[in-house]
Amino acid sequence: MSFRTWGNHLYTGQKTYDIVDRRNRWVVIAAVLMILSIAVLLVRGLNPGIEFSGGSQFTVSGAQTTEEQPAHDVISEVGGEPPRVSTVGDTTVRVQTGELTDVETRQVRDGLAEAYGVSPDDITSTFIGPTWGSDVTQQAIISLVIFISLIVLGMLIYFRTWTMAVAALAALLHDIVLLVGIYALVGFEVTPAAVVGFLMVMGYSLYDTVVIFDKVRENNADLFTQDRHTYAEGSNRAVNQTLVRSINTSVTGVLPVAAILFIGALFMGAGTLRDIALALFVGMILSAYSSIYLAAPIEVGLRERDAKVIKHTKVVVDRRERRESGLKVASGPLSAERIDEEAALATERGGSVVAGRHLGTAAQPRRKKSGK
């Protein structure tokens, strides 16, 4: 089966994957991954960039070599904190370390000039104070809080139901927690570029989730006037119908980001690109997963707590079983009163007899014993 045919079968319902029905499994997997991410974060911690922690930065232009060891040797001789060394392009080296005095700054500049074969004038030094770093951290936190608040408000207005807003927020929280855990695991610096990447990932995750929820709303628009499918079945079909779109969008988005991360950053040493590329690369993959396996399943779990949905599901299942048993079922659109009546009857019946279902030996007719 070709990818196109597979997608057509998913959209028409000829092929379906039970994603929503297995929502407990996906929630457990997500919870385990989030717990592991939090554990890694507590054990290893994040690696904040100089913009957040404060310190001194030296940029060596026109270096004859881009090896990191000469910078480590120079900082070690001065007695500074272990530096973070990265290359920018082919001839530029960036060295970041803790706060230095004026004398130590001059010693480091002269040492780097000698180590990399350049003039001291080709080395620029910048000091970032801890006050400025704390301001950046505070602004980043404020940005995240405002963004999340706008997300919840926008989802409530657009979908007019709190269940979709909560489900979208849960999937978003999953993506951010796992992304932060991966940053803590690999030890990449958390820089303003990485924070921008986090915000972009949040937007990407919401976009994918909104597309699926739009289809969920479309499939369940006439939910309480029909008996062909339950709310969970309509939502599961929506996830299947948008599955190919989610895969295509993710692949086309991840490929250029992967090129930036693995080619531009690792081979060319582009530090800023590496910081944002890792957030986008991991975030896009997590967003595609969470929008499919978490957002819709969690939303269905919340909606199935509603009394109207519970009654409608009971009516649909009861009518379906009665049809399979060969019993006559009233036709025509359902109404709120009819749903209440049939739900009560279904509860009294305790489920209809379904053709082919074995009820046990106790339910079988007994033969009379002969008088012999």
pLDDT along the chain (372 residues), means of 10: 72 82 91 94 85 80 80 82 75 81 84 84 79 69 80 80 88 90 84 80 84 90 85 91 85 83 62 74 88 92 90 86 78 75 75 43 48 49
In a domain, 361, yes or no: no
In a domain, 92, yes or no: yes
Torsion of CA 337, 339, 340, 346, to 10 degrees: 150
| pLDDT computed for residue 42 by the predictor | 92
In a domain, 140, yes or no: no
Q: Which CATH number goes with the domain that contains 86?
A: 3.30.460.30
Report the number of distinct structural domains present in the chain. 3
**Distance in angstroms between the alpha carbons of the first and the last residue of the chain:** 66
Q: Which CATH number goes with the domain that contains 293?
A: 1.20.1640.10
| pLDDT computed for residue 271 by the predictor | 57
Residues 72 and 212 in one domain: no
Contact 159, 213 (CB under 8 A): yes
Token digits for 330? 């009233």
| φ/ψ (deg, to 5) at 30 | -65, -40
Residues 72 and 214 in one domain: no
Residue that is written with structure tokens 């350049």 in the block? 118
Residues 171 and 29 in one domain: yes
| pLDDT computed for residue 372 by the predictor | 46
Residues 16 and 91 in one domain: no
In a domain, 202, yes or no: yes
Q: Is 89 left (phi over 0), alpha (psi -120 to 50) or beta?
A: left
According to DSSP, residue 369 is labeled P
Residues 96 and 222 in one domain: no
- The strand ranges marked E within 142-261 are 189-190
Q: Domain range holding 335?
A: 307-351
Residues 35 and 180 in one domain: yes
Contact 9, 15 (CB under 8 A): yes
| pLDDT computed for residue 34 by the predictor | 94
Residues 74 and 200 in one domain: no
In a domain, 133, yes or no: no
| pLDDT computed for residue 248 by the predictor | 84
Comparing CA positions, the residue from 133, 55, 59, 50 lying closest to residue 95 is: 59
Residues 118 and 177 in one domain: no
In a domain, 370, yes or no: no
Token digits for 189? 């610096």
Residues 299 and 184 in one domain: yes
Residues 242 and 168 in one domain: yes
| pLDDT computed for residue 250 by the predictor | 84
Residues 92 and 236 in one domain: no
| pLDDT computed for residue 236 by the predictor | 92
Rounded distance between C-alpha atoms, residue 32 and residue 290, angstroms = 14
Residues 70 and 182 in one domain: no
Q: What is the pTM of this model?
A: 0.76
